[in-house]
Every structure is written in C-alpha cells, then in structure tokens.
Chain A
Amino acid sequence: MITLTINGLKVQVEEGTTILEAARFLGFPIPTLCHQEGLSPYGACRLCVVEIGEEPKSKLVSSCTYPAEEGLVVRTGSKRVVNARKMIIELLLASCPQSKTIQDLASAYGVRRQRFRQEHEDCILCGLCVRMCSEQMMAKAIGFRGRGKERSVGTPFDVQPDVCRLCGGCMYICPACSLRCTYNEPDKAICNACANLNPPCIQKERFNDLMCYMSPCVACEIDH
C-alpha cells in the first residue's frame, strides 16, 4: 500500500493506482475529457492536471496518467491548477464550441468568453474513440496519423476497413460530436472518425444482430 496526501487528507491506495483514482476515491472532483474507466489512460487533454510536490519546486502533472507515489503531496484545486484548467477550457471553446461536454465544462468553471480566433473543429483528438476501438472492441479500425496541425483520426487510407464491425463505439464515446452526429447522412457527419463509418442500422442486411452503441440514434428514429 502507498500513502499519499491529497488536499491535506492522507489516503492509502494500492500500488499502481493513479492520482486521479485516488482523488476520486476521496471524492475530490477532477474534470477529465480523454479519460474513461475501462480504457487505458492517455493523458492528452491535460484537463485533469493537479499540482504535486512542495512549492517552489511543485509542478503540474496529468493525474490520469501519474501513478501514486509514497509520500506524494497533491493539490487538486490550487490557484495554479484552476488557472491552467480555465485556459485549457478557453482553448477548447475556441476550437470546438459546439460540443455539449465542453460547454458544460465551461459553465462549471465559469469560463464565459474565449479570446482566440473562433474555430469550428469537429475533433479534439482526445483519442477516446481510438482506444475504445482497439481496447474494448478489439478492432483497431481507426488510429491517429500525422503530427502537429495535421494530426487526425481516421481509418487507414480513408476506407472502411474489414475489421470495422460498425459497432458505433467510437461515436458513442466521442465528447465532441456524439450529440451532433447525423448518422444516416455521413456527408454531414462532423467528426473524422465516423465520417467513414456508416452506422450499422443503415446496413441492416450485412449486420443485423450487431451490438449497437448509439442511443438515441437519429437514424433509427427516422427509420421508425
């Protein structure tokens, strides 16, 4: 067992526990975007940062990937942490304002404006869909490609691969677009991942008894 201090409270956790899990166990809220129970930690969105160590040598780390260490001192809501989170949310809002998840985060943290040039991107590259596909669906149908501004999610060569079972898991888990997907109109679909994947209900002849993750599914509603 490892003993660490979170916001002044001592807590004992098993080896291998992340700071995020330990903090949530104690009931301290830490916002996350790219973390999901059941999927491996990834550390991409940086929303879950917490401050570790003693000042002035303290630093911020992503709690979802940082393992609990013996004697570690953690602050989950220090001024530095909150300021960083607000800036991250501002950056998210500037890129992806239509996402309900991000709007909720902004209102929870009192971020009322964003000062950058407004963009409307479909994907925040949190990688949830990629991990969902490979770790839960065992399909590995989608992945990342490119770097920097060119980085995107997609299928190899932008064609629907055989390994894709059209389960819809990627769309179900997406924090940026799941609430705006236009399932049966792939042309209008907004995130790169699902643009290449027709939902199963459209191809009923091929996939009739598939596990479908979409609820509510716009396609089904239109069908009925």
Chain B
Amino acid sequence: MERLRSSEEFETLRQHLFSTIRPEIPMVVIPAGTCGQASGAEKLIRTAQREILAKKLQEKVFLRITGCHGFCEMEPSVLIEPYRTFYPELDADGMQRIIHALADGKMVEDLLYFDPSTGEKIEKQDDIPFFRHQSRLLLAKNEKVDPLNIYDYIKNGGYLAFSNVLKNIRPEAVIDEVKRSGLRGRGGAGFPTGMKWKFLADAENKNGKYIVCNADEGDPGAYMDRSLLEGNPHSIIEGMLIGAYATGTDSGVIYVRSEYPLAIKHLTVALKQARHTGLLGTDILGSGFGFDISIVKGAGAFVCGEETALMRSIEGRMGEPRQRPPFPVEKGIYGKPTLINNVETWANIPVIMTNGAEKYTGTGSINSGTKIFSLVGKIKNTGLVEVPMGTPIRKVLYEIGGGQADSTGIKAVQTGGPSGGCIPSSLFEMPISYESFAEAGSIIGSGGMIVMDENTCMIDVAKYFMNFLKDESCGKCFTCRKGTQRMHELLEDISSGKGTMEHLKLMEELAIVMKDTAMCGLGQTAPNPVLSTLKYFKDEYIAHIENKRCPAGVCKALIRFSINENCTGCGACARICPENVIMGEKKERHVIDSDRCSRCGACRSVCKFEAIDVI
C-alpha cells in the first residue's frame, strides 16, 4: 500500500472501502478482548473458522474478531450483524449451531439472552436492559471494528475527522471546539481538556513538545482504558493526531501498563498500519504536518500513573512524583512542554470533531459527554457501561447492572479507585458528575465502580485500599509513606478487635494532615477511603470497637462460626474443614471447635442447608 499523499487520496480510499462493504451478508462478531479470551472466546473463534471453512460458507457468513463489547458477565458471547442478534455464554457446540443456522438465514432461539427480570428471551442486543439504558458513544465502536485492521476503522468513519481538521480547520479553532465541548479529563482530576491544550499551544519551545496518552490504568477493578486500547486503538491515535495538530506538537508517547500485553500488541500493529497508510510520520496527507507516536511500557507501579511520575518514568528514571509547579506544560519530558491526557479523553476527541461540540454538550447533563464505568463487585451484570454524565447512580446499578447479585441489598458503591470513596445507598439518586461525587466525598476518577452488599465489611474495604496504597506509595514523601502505613496499622487494630475510640480520633487527625501535606495526588487522596467510610458507616466502626463485633461477618478476629438446628449431619462441612475441627455423628447435628477454627468459611460455602451461622 502506497502512503496517502493528500486528503483527496484519503477520500478515494474511503470511497473504495465503502464499495467493498457487503451489508447483506451476515457477520459473526466475536468479542475477544482480554476478558473475552479469559472466558473462552478463542474456542468460539476456532470453531467458527473451522465451521465456515468446512462447510464452505466463506461467501455466506463473515467473521469479525473485535475487542470487548462491555457485557463481560455474559462472555464468551457473539453478536450477529446486521440483525444484532445477541447470544450470551456460548460454547463451541452453540457456536457451531449458530453458524449452521445463519447459513440458512435462521436464528437459534434457545441460545438467546434470557432476561431474569421478565423471564423472557430477548433477541436483539439493543433490547437487552444492560445495553438499552446506555449511550455508547465510544464502546459501540468496539463492535464495529477489527482492531488489527485500519480499513475497518476507516470504513466506520475513522480518520475522517482528522483529515477534515487537517484540511479545513485552523489549530486555534480546534482548541476552541474542544473547549466548547466541555470535555473534562477522564483520568481522575477532571481538568478541562481544551484549556490544557491551550496551555500547550501557547507554550513556546524550539526543541519540540510532547503529548502523552496515559494508559497506566492502575486502579483495582477498573479496565475501561484497556478495553478501548484493545478494541479501538485507532480512535486513540486519531485523537492524539488531532491534539498534536491543534497544539503544534511533533512527538507523542503512549504510556501503557506492561500488564496489558494484548493492548500493547494491538497498539503496535495500529501504529504500524497508520504509518504505512501515511496517517503518521512526516508530511501527513501532504499537509506538511508531521507527528509520530512511540509506545513506552509502564514500570509496574500505580504511582507511575501520576503525571509527574509518569514523565520521569518515560525518561527512564524512577517513577517518583515531583512538586507542581512547574506543571508539565511548563517543564515536562526532558524539560519540554508536555500534555498528558487519559485514554478515554483522547478517544472522545474524534467523536467531538465528527459530531461537533454542540451535539457533544447535548449528551449528558451537568457535565458533557459520556463516561465509561467498569461495574464490578456484588452486582448481577458486571461489565463496562457507558452512560451520559448526569445519569443517576441508581440507574446504572439497577437498570443497567440488574441490581444486587445475591439476596442481600446493595449497601454502597465504591468509586474512583483507591483515591475515591464509598457512596452509600441513601445517595443513589445522585446524578453522576464531577461536582456531586466530590461533594459526597468521592471522585469519578477513572471510572471504577465496585458494588458492595451487606456482606461487605466497610472497615475491611478501607483496609484493603489502605494496604494497596501503603505498598504503592512511592515512599518519597514522609506523610504519604508513613501516613498510609500508620493508617493501615490503625485499621488493622480495629478489625482485629483491638481498636478504641482513640483510634478513630487519631485516624481523623492523621487523615487531615495527609490530605494537607502530601505532595502528589496519591497521598492527598489516600485518606478518602477511610474518611468516606467513617462518614457514612461510623456505626460499623463503633460496632467493631465497642461491641467487638463485625456486622458483615468478615473480620476474622471478631467472628465465630456455629452450627444451628438446620444441620442434617451430612458431614460435608467436616470433610472440607482444613483444620479438622468440625465433629459430630452421622445424621446428627455437628459442632465446631471455635478455639481451633481458622474462620476460613469453607464449611459455610459447602453447607446446603444454611446451617452455619456467623456470629
């Protein structure tokens, strides 16, 4: 393939690609992101390929392997275009039947999605509640494109926005458009993106500037950036191209977690294809504008996601944050002005430039646009959900998420990763926005949403995050390093029944000082998990301290297992007990020796008669 030399040539290529589309032929779309592969998408792909070859269906059924579509709970799943039929949780056998049915123009009814709330089968993906209530500006594209094929992206309108910007729009006008769109950073702090771009455009530097895509996604339970990188890498490249043109930048870096091998592979291929096509490199589309992107693999530390640490890491030094000012736009990588945006922020840029800022602000109330959340934890439909800003949390949890996974109700949802906080169920009517979350003591952050039910101990949650932070703090600044360690120590005391009311007071004092004096965002937000659980679930703390009781039955030192009269004496618990401390005659009620019990809970998970209580 020759490099494209002008926008006209690009248009010719587009028209040519359009002419190759054959919408009448059914297409089997298999999502095979990391999540899909883990649940067995590879097997479906192999089966589909084999079946198509064996039955010589190459001209009757097409196959497309894509990134994650979002409904991870139901993977491995398959989507049939253009009918949009959705088949969840398939096995090789089901795949085979679907291919055969497709060849005859039929549907396999018994494999369709079963809606537990209505008890009916649903045929089309867009009618399934999980999808119906979303606004999938970004995620919907993951269904349309094969990430390893740049032509797929172009066929779906890709790079058109960039080619148009390059030919017809002045850089300042691009920045104005982004400003008017009201887009704010999706990586954590929610800084207005247009404003950041303006700073970089205004920064003078003869030696060049940098733009960076922050793909270090380190929050436990968050994976939307990974899905975007894996499923649609070209949208990020296009976003960066537009950003580079608007700010007059010639080098770009994508800083990816090294734990995301598939994302790195797809990005590498995408960059290579973009260079071959003439959409990256020197003299792009004959305009004289040149820009190239390199990939830097992350150093495996959470703190490297912080922008100043990230820049040092790119330079090959230890990932340690430094004081701002000077801000990255003043003094960035190798001292050159640098702009850092999150993956999702970049992916939003082509959407804005294609549809215009007005349409974008029209999506979402309060803040503009959509936000992808990764919905995980004690919820029925785990997966990636994309909703307009301003959607109430309740809608995300109950209408899209399908409500609690077990019989116990949802107690709270933890948002924003380790820097965020817990939002209790009493605030679920709250609309999703940067401001409302901040008011509730949490943040949107990168978009993790961990759902918790009555079986979750909030002290345990706070302890988990504090443990994460104490290991991930870079250790340079004293209040962050020692503060997280001491906070973890205090939480450990409370969860093991050694806590006093003095502990709570000391925790609050320490939290204020950490927030005030830590240098970077990690330390400043580290007390949030503790503060927000203290704010909304103080009664749980008090139960641990005064009554030496863990209401959720989680903290091992404070609970005891006992067998009630439901016991039929089946002996299942005694067989599984690793400590051999459950005794009893056959067909008679068993007993547990509490002193020697390690509280692993194995007995409880095997008991079919709900005969084991936690007290």
Determine whether A13 belongs to the interface, using a CB cutoff of 8 Å to chain B. Answer: no
Inter-subunit contact A49/B483 (CB<8 Å):
no
- Give residues 475-508 of B contacting A (CB, 8 Å): 475-479, 481-486, 489, 502, 506
Inter-subunit contact A91/B482 (CB<8 Å):
yes
User: In the complex, which of the residues B323, B474, B516 contacts A148, with contact meaning CB atoms closer than 8 Å?
Assistant: B474
* Residues 92-133 of chain A, each 1 if its beta carbon lies under 8 Å from chain B, else 0: 101100000000000000000001110000001111000000
CB contacts (< 8 Å) of B303 on chain A: these are 147
Inter-subunit contact A65/B301 (CB<8 Å):
no
Stretch at the interface among A79-87, A192-200, A202-210, A211-219: A79-87
Please measure, in the bound complex, the distance between the C-alpha atom of A183 and the C-alpha atom of B484, giving whole angstroms. 34
Inter-subunit contact A124/B478 (CB<8 Å):
yes
Inter-subunit contact A91/B483 (CB<8 Å):
yes
CB contacts (< 8 Å) of B479 on chain A: these are 46, 87-88, 91
Q: A62-B519, A91-B483, A91-B486 are in contact. Are A148 and B471 (CB under 8 A)?
A: yes
Determine whether A224 belongs to the interface, using a CB cutoff of 8 Å to chain B. Answer: no
The distance from the CB of B508 to the nearest CB of chain A, in whole angstroms, is 11
User: In the complex, which of the residues A84, A92, A126 contacts B516, with contact meaning CB atoms closer than 8 Å?
Assistant: A84
CB contacts (< 8 Å) of A151 on chain B: these are 474-476, 481
Determine whether A39 belongs to the interface, using a CB cutoff of 8 Å to chain B. Answer: no
Please measure, in the bound complex, the distance between the C-alpha atom of A124 and the C-alpha atom of B477, giving whole angstroms. 10
Inter-subunit contact A49/B475 (CB<8 Å):
no
Determine whether B615 belongs to the interface, using a CB cutoff of 8 Å to chain A. Answer: no
User: In the complex, which of the residues A44, A60, A67 contacts B478, with contact meaning CB atoms closer than 8 Å?
Assistant: A44
Inter-subunit contact B475/A61 (CB<8 Å):
no
Determine whether A149 belongs to the interface, using a CB cutoff of 8 Å to chain B. Answer: yes
Inter-subunit contact A43/B519 (CB<8 Å):
yes
The distance from the CB of A183 to the nearest CB of chain B, in whole angstroms, is 27
Inter-subunit contact B502/A43 (CB<8 Å):
no
The distance from the CB of B509 to the nearest CB of chain A, in whole angstroms, is 6
CB contacts (< 8 Å) of B485 on chain A: these are 149
Inter-subunit contact B477/A60 (CB<8 Å):
no
User: In the complex, which of the residues B323, B483, B512, B513 contacts A43, with contact meaning CB atoms closer than 8 Å?
Assistant: B323
Inter-subunit contact B481/A117 (CB<8 Å):
no
Inter-subunit contact B477/A46 (CB<8 Å):
yes
Please measure, in the bound complex, the distance between the C-alpha atom of A128 and the C-alpha atom of B475, giving whole angstroms. 15
Determine whether B552 belongs to the interface, using a CB cutoff of 8 Å to chain A. Answer: no
Please measure, in the bound complex, the distance between the C-alpha atom of A196 and the C-alpha atom of B318, giving whole angstroms. 22
Instruction: Name which of B323, B479, B489, B517 has the most chain A CB atoms within 10 A of its CB.
Output: B517
Q: A91-B482, A144-B318 are in contact. Are A80 and B470 (CB under 8 A)?
A: no
Determine whether A59 belongs to the interface, using a CB cutoff of 8 Å to chain B. Answer: yes
CB contacts (< 8 Å) of B478 on chain A: these are 44-46, 88, 91-92, 124-126
Please measure, in the bound complex, the distance between the C-alpha atom of A150 and the C-alpha atom of B476, giving whole angstroms. 11
Inter-subunit contact A115/B518 (CB<8 Å):
no
Inter-subunit contact A95/B516 (CB<8 Å):
no
Q: For the A-B complex with A91-B483, A147-B474 known, give 19 more contacts whose Cβ atoms are closer than 8 Å.
A: A44-B476, A45-B478, A46-B518, A49-B517, A60-B516, A61-B323, A62-B323, A62-B519, A65-B323, A66-B325, A87-B510, A87-B513, A91-B482, A116-B486, A116-B489, A116-B506, A126-B478, A147-B475, A148-B472
Could you show 9 A-B contacts with beta carbons less than 8 Å apart?
Answer: A44-B476, A46-B477, A46-B518, A61-B323, A83-B513, A91-B479, A117-B489, A144-B475, A151-B476
